[in-house]
Structure 1
């Protein structure tokens, strides 16, 4: 029986294609054995979901983090083995602002992954800098679900349920362009306020939002008067080039019907 700590350093895990020794604990459910990462947590649907999504999509694109193996012993709970990656875009961009070539590569690879998911009717509910990894090719898919599923429609507590997919891609891009510690997804609980300051809600928001969302929007509009906003459209050429601002402006439309597709 696995204890609450799941694994101990030095534990031997037997998979379908290999054997692994636990070397380090990265997160509550993530364990490291170079050159792989082991994910496991009892009764936690995201691990099972990530396994199923990767099995379905990883042969179609190099832009998704590969599923390396599945542990069969111990077998108390589902445990998957993923390729080990050194860091993620959040940590990397804090240490060093990406150059133009790197930014373009990140954009293309991220959109390629989203396009592959969309083709089968899946959405990513947790697209953010720390879910795009440092080799710029692969992402965490624990929060990826079919578009008509309850998880996709109502979001998940672990994810970024308000801003998903194309909008979140644009928010990631803004963070990467500015570099440093600018992250529109942090601090936790402040995403709505921070993003509202950049992109005010359109007058037609009632056409695409339910009563609860409308109440949240009205609250934000009351809490942050127009004169306190800092519209992204007023960003100077010194901060963001004209072409980049135009590109991002098309993406960051709060009415999803006005946004471009991943393709």
Structure 2
């Protein structure tokens, strides 16, 4: 069972934050710990988020508006239930966003919880590096 709650994460999202501010190690740990805990909770319920990307990681600032205080994974609109022998892409639904899409999703192969981990890994690599990345749709 998924319960939707609304806590106000409106200060920014990770995409915008990383465009204007440098991210320190402590903030990276906060983001990683929170998002991975959220993904673990989903995966333990047999659910896959399918759209992990910087735009869907919401943040509130601490007392200092340059430092991340709270983090939340959001936008559960494409979350899918994965059964015992899943073929979650049987309806042709494309999951993920561009460069954050896992290889199995890009190749239209069977995917599951590891696709979220790939997407989060791509998010961390790209958003916390100093290189710009192309927008791929």
TM more than 0.5: yes
Aligned to 2:89: 153
Question: Residues of 1 paired with 2:52 and 2:127: CA distance?
Answer: 14
Q: Does 2:119 correspond to 1:182?
A: no
Q: Which whole-Å deviations, capped at 9, do the CAs of 1:116-162 have from their partners, x for residues lacking one?
A: 00111101110000010123224221121112366x43574473384
Q: Does the CA contact (< 8 Å) of 2:9 and 2:59 recur in 1?
A: no
Q: How many residues were matched structurally?
A: 110
Question: Residues of 1 paired with 2:42 and 2:95: CA distance?
Answer: 20
TM-superposed CA distance for 1:95, in Å, is: 0.5
Q: Looking at CA atoms only, which structure, 1 or 2, has the larger radius of gyration?
A: 1
TM-superposed CA distance for 1:86, in Å, is: 2.4
Higher relative contact order (CA 8 A, sep 6+): 2
Q: What TM-score, normalized to structure 1?
A: 0.37
- Structure 1, gaps ≥5 residues long: 1-51, 59-65, 68-81, 190-263
Question: Residues of 1 paired with 2:41 and 2:26: CA distance?
Answer: 23
Does the C-alpha gap of structure 1 residues 156 and 90 become closer, same or farther in structure 2, counting only changes over 3 Å?
farther
Aligned to 1:122: 47
Question: Residues of 2 paired with 1:104 and 1:173: CA distance?
Answer: 10
Q: Does 2:76 correspond to 1:141?
A: yes
CA RMSD across the alignment: 2.6
Q: What TM-score, normalized to structure 2?
A: 0.67
Q: Does the CA contact (< 8 Å) of 2:9 and 2:58 recur in 1?
A: no
Does the C-alpha gap of structure 1 residues 158 and 115 become closer, same or farther in structure 2, counting only changes over 3 Å?
closer
Q: Which whole-Å deviations, capped at 9, do the CAs of 1:200-238 have from their partners, x for residues lacking one?
A: xxxxxxxxxxxxxxxxxxxxxxxxxxxxxxxxxxxxxxx
Match of 1:169 among 112, 120, 126: 120
Q: Does 2:10 correspond to 1:85?
A: yes
Does the C-alpha gap of structure 1 residues 119 and 107 become closer, same or farther in structure 2, counting only changes over 3 Å?
same
1:99-248 matched pairs, under 5 angstroms? 99-135=24-60, 136-148=71-83, 152-153=88-89, 156-157=93-94, 159-160=96-97, 162-163=101-102, 164-179=115-130, 182-183=132-133, 186-189=134-137
Question: Residues of 2 paired with 1:127 and 1:172: CA distance?
Answer: 8
